[in-house]
Structure 1
């Protein structure tokens, strides 16, 4: 049998469950503050709309049977002209040289995980901004080699047959 106050407990439990479900459905995005600071000001001056700050992307790395949890960090996500860009802020002691290998080593993982249109590299001290894009090109197969081999084979066949 129900005792005094049991109905109140049931109502509170139901309200709590509804609140948790609503919280998950709505998310906490409305509570997040818009990123601020000098880098955001630089991006907005260049026409970017900063949509997220300091994004941690969980990555699971498996070696044999062991799984390691890790995270890949992107400083900001921004949009311009309807295209998504990942933003990496250069550290004062660790700038990214403008060479293909250095850019690949520093930025390719972020590009592969986020798949943005490009990556904006911002130097906080100088205010300089570079947009880096990656394109995976198909390997050149050298089709002329196939044509040359086919021609050589046809010539040898002609020589052996009519020779």
Structure 2
């Protein structure tokens, strides 16, 4: 008799677990695209430095700052090795989100299509909800917005 009861409890637990998994998958599937960015906006603290003040005077609302995205890379069958992608701020302007990279003298931006692709395309692929990537130079008082579009050949 106890085996019948154990089997019944096991079936109930499996059904509840499957229902929970389907429910979580459905919530993830139907979550709005900007939900990930809203979570990201709550993560990084914003220090009121000259870059933040300057971006705000240019009409951007600085939501968060100094983000580090951990990645792992493996070559062939080798071990996974850690690396990171960095961007400086997440901003919003006119209900559109933008990632911000501050242009620094020690690692200047190469303003060619291939240079921009090599340096910034990973951010666009990781955050397709963003309207583009803002390259800001507070010292030179310039802002450029970079957008990528996949073209049909």
Query: Which residue of 2 is the match for residue 110 of structure 1?
Result: 123
Q: TM-score, normalised by structure 2?
A: 0.65
CA contact (8 A) 1:92 1:125 kept: no
Query: Which residue of 1 is the match for residue 113 of structure 2?
Result: 100
Unaligned runs of 5+ in 1: 1-26, 141-163
Inter-partner Cα distance in structure 1 for 2:43 and 2:72: 28
**Which of 42, 49, 74 is residue 37 of structure 1 equivalent to?**
49
Provide the alpha-carbon RMSD of the alignment.
2.3
Query: Which residue of 2 is the match for residue 51 of structure 1?
Result: 63
Cα offsets for 1:40-67 (capped at 9, x unmatched): 1121112111111110011121222321
CA contact (8 A) 2:100 2:133 kept: yes
> Per the alignment, in what secondary structure is the counterpart of residue 74 of structure 1?
strand
Q: TM-score, normalised by structure 1?
A: 0.61
Query: Which residue of 1 is the match for residue 150 of structure 2?
Result: 136
Instruction: Number of aligned residue pairs: give it.
Output: 112
Unaligned runs of 5+ in 2: 1-38
Structure 1 range deviating more: 89-98 or 126-135: 89-98
